[in-house]
Amino acid sequence: MSKAADIRDIMGRGPVIPVVTIDDPEAGPDLARALLAGGISVIEVTLRTPAALEAARLIASQVEEMVVGVGTVLDPAQAAQAADVGAVFAVSPGFDPDLLTAVAAAGLAYLPGVQTTSEVMAARKAGLRALKFFPAASSGGVAALKQFQPLFPAIAFCPTGGISLPDAAGYLALDNVRCIGGSFAAPSDAIRARDWSTITECARQACALRG
């Protein structure tokens, strides 16, 4: 997938985007292959460890079938770094017009986070039609997104934050939810243990959420 990809197309590749934290960059490609074996072809590597950018680079260069995103992008420099390592999309916890400009300049698709109606309105005014609802569980969850739907019928959401496998179906049943983000599709302890069979099984369960 090219860096000109639309974020809605990326969100539509499956019901769940795994949000992963990687301590050892060498684990990245094996993690990506385990997810692919379970049916997931999109990954968000969060910038929460020093290994994150190198892990994203190795995944992008070695596992071409995986669409790589970089998450927890907070400033223009990180957006540029994400593009440099071969990421296709960037994810941020909040909406920042300057970061929107930087992500566009880097040629990346963008999924910024919002929490309130005011933030959704600001992002909508900036031309965005796909947003991350974050942190989902502590910001009203399914009930909040139901209230967003009639107000912003053209906005597609990816709720992320505090969502577990048992909660996921409730989010995915909403008309304005295109996919969800969550670590349950690739648990951190399984990544650290290099337990790829568990990752593949978690990916299969995640994919089964939307038939």
Domains along the sequence of the chain with CATH: 7-210 (3.20.20.70)
Separation between Cα atoms, residue 30 and residue 39, nearest integer Å: 14
pTM above 0.75, yes or no: yes
What are 62-82's pLDDT values in tens digits? 999 999 999 999 999 999 999
Q: Which of 44, 119, 125, 146 is an active site residue?
A: 44
- For position 2, what pLDDT does the model report? 57
Residue 171 has pLDDT above 80, yes or no: yes
Measured CA to CA, the distance from residue 22 to residue 9 in angstroms comes to 25
Mean pLDDT of the chain: 97
Exactly one of 64, 125, 132, 201 is catalytic; name it: 132
DSSP secondary structure string for all residues of 2-66:
-TT--HHHHHTT-SEEEEE--S-TTHHHHHHHHHHHTT--EEEEETTSTTHHHHHHHHHHH-TTS
Query: What pLDDT is attached to residue 24?
Result: 98
44 carries an active-site annotation: yes
Rounded to whole angstroms, how far apart are CA atoms 125 and 123?
A: 5
Q: What is the DSSP letter of 158?
A: E
Active-site residue, 3 included: no
